[in-house]
Amino acid sequence: MSAAFYKNSIQNFLVQTEDEIFGIIAYGDRYDTVATQKDAWIEQIRLLKRALAHSPCGSILFEYTLPRVGGRIDNILLIKNTIFVLEFKVGATSYSGDAMRQVRTYAFDLENYHEESRGCKIVPVLIATNVQDDYRKPGAPEDVILTNGDDLRDIIIRNTDASCKSLDVDAWANSRYAPTPTIIEAAKNLYINHSVDNIARNTAAENLTKTSDAVQQIIEKSKHNQQKSICFITGVPGAGKTLAGLNIAIENQKTTGQSGACLLTGNQPLVSVLREALAADDHSQHGTPLAKARESTKSFIQIIHGFRDASLNNTQNSPVENVVIFDEAQRAWNQPMLSNFMQKKKGQVLSRLTDEQCAHFLAMSEPELLIDYMNRHQDWAVIVCLVGGGQDINTGEAGIQEWFASLRRSFPDWNVYVSGDMTTKDYLGNQSFMELTNGLKCETVKELHLSVSVRAHRTQDVAGFVDSLLDGDAATAAEKYKRLSSIYPIYITRDLARAKRWAHEQTAGKTLRHGLIASSKGTRLRADGIWVESKCKPEKWFLGDRDDIKSSYFMEEVASEFDTQGLEIDYAVVAWDADYRYEDGQFQYYKTRGSHWVSIRNEDERRYLKNAYRVLLTRSREGFVIFVPCGDDADATRQRTFYDKLWNYLTDVGIEELE
């Protein structure tokens, strides 16, 4: 199937009749388009003939399809080195926000994902044919040109650089289009020996490559000098920390053997989803029996608890891996949490130890136990910690401070490498960097920070917006939302059915995924049919097809922050309950106890709840809608004021209500 319904030189377009052009477009249409669209094509042909009569140089395309995303651009004009992206709204009397966002997004995607468009001037133009000449929509993106078409000829002349070399229409139309992959897609590609360069867009790939190369140098240095080293990779949300970890693990499997390196994580949903995705892909591509394929992924991606328990089964042996990568290292357990778990759940293992050994292990936090296990290597070892700031979401998670405390306490001879960004409160808590690293052989390596989002290029500012929103800083959040909303849709609604329809509409006919997500403490969402207590099966939720009732597409099963952390979907409905509640100009923290809400006083629990919403609001690659319930004054746990105050805050930020 051709990438466009119609493709020709402007010179040929001008001499062809309307009927000839329409016939070619209609023949290219495989969707049995309704009559209104066909009338619109006739209007487009007439208007473009008038606008282009002055300049027969260049090329024109009708209905150019963006691969994967599935969107179709009404018209593309390639004139010299300028690409005009035209979105027609034939008969429209105003410029809608959705239409402006649509044409801006098309231009953005071409700029960042379309190889033949790199370095070109891209001009997005929205044409609403029945708008009065003097009408301009307030708040329109600065780089989107609005017109009713009467001055389209002047717009083209004004924005074309006549001195540039012309683009080749065939090369452009058949260009490689590489949108940012999901972590699942990226893992598949890495697993079949592709490089990071092949699976991430240019700037993100460069960032990931530099980080991976820096870690590889640390590994080689440690191996050559027979040293033990630990390095900490930081990054903005969606920067690809897990992807970097996968890449490091795979590269070192190649050089040190099948069992030479592995990715470890305490995130069971992530392990389940990635293992199943890789196994299914291996089965599909190579015919490997599914059971065997699943088994082979276990050495590559391991649950951290199994690795930890292995250290107790034989207290003398070192692990087979010289290189281990700990994903979400800040979520490792503190000493009380680990000790309590071991005594309750691992009594049989502890019973095989001497009293001295038992006391030794129970006195350790999880970071200390894991470093201790790797320290048994007589030659060299490297630990790579992937660290997310503001991402600890569960009781007993120690934060990154405990890794450094363990090093200071028991392993001061290890070489420590940190990124230059590990100086903020998100990573350090109330400690200073000097306190954190005191007495350690610590070196700063700037490449250990991932500063560019790979979750989706247009979401670079989402994390900053979410931070301001959750901090209750309405003014800053409003400023960031205004910049963000032209290319990344964020809406609010009190109609759950409408929210679900919107999510369906965004992914219909495309290879994109949508789903319903909510806080694990949002228990009163049950009145609206959202049962957070009913656990979804992550591998089904993330991998199931559109006809699988357990998949995210059906939006009957809800995924929590625990199910989605480290993973992502394209569009989300985020249900916001009264657990993280806006009152008296700031957010307050609640949980249900029996049949009523109680205030959360513990600082760690408060942080976990805030971070839960941080995770939920940064899961979407393409956009999301926030559902705020209406509440019911007849139900003391769902008072209208709980939700109205949140709604008013979100509207004060300027978030647009879904129509």
Q: Give me the amino acid identity at 264.
A: L
**Count of beta carbons in the 10 Å neighbourhood of residue 650:** 23
Q: Write down the pLDDT at residue 123.
A: 93
Please return the burial class of 238, using the count of CB atoms within 10 Å of its CB with bins 0-12, 13-18 and 19+.
Answer: buried
Give per-residue pLDDT as tens, 154-195.
999 999 877 677 889 999 998 877 666 666 666 666 555 544
Model pTM score? 0.69
What number of residues does the chain have?
659
Parallel, antiparallel, or unpaired for β 4-9 and 59-65? antiparallel
Q: Give me the amino acid identity at 530.
A: I
How far apart, in whole angstroms, are the C-alpha atoms of residue 453 and residue 205? 10
Q: Write down the pLDDT at residue 335.
A: 87
Are residues 210 and 447 in contact, defined by beta-carbon separation less than 8 angstroms? yes
Buried b vs exposed e over 195-205: b needs ≥16 C-beta within 10 Å? Answer: bbeebbbeebb
- What residues contact residue 291 under an 8 Å CB cut-off, 6+ apart? none
Structure tokens at 327: 């994903």
Give per-residue pLDDT as tens, 10-32.
999 999 999 999 989 888 775 55
The helix/strand/coil state of 4 is strand
Residue 140 is given by DSSP the state -
Number of H helices, E strands in the chain: 27, 22
* Residue numbers in the chain where pLDDT is lower than 50: 1, 136-137, 194-203, 257-258
How far apart, in whole angstroms, are the C-alpha atoms of residue 198 and residue 154? 40
How far apart, in whole angstroms, are the C-alpha atoms of residue 177 and residue 116? 9
Q: Write down the pLDDT at residue 195.
A: 45
How far apart, in whole angstroms, are the C-alpha atoms of residue 376 and residue 655? 54
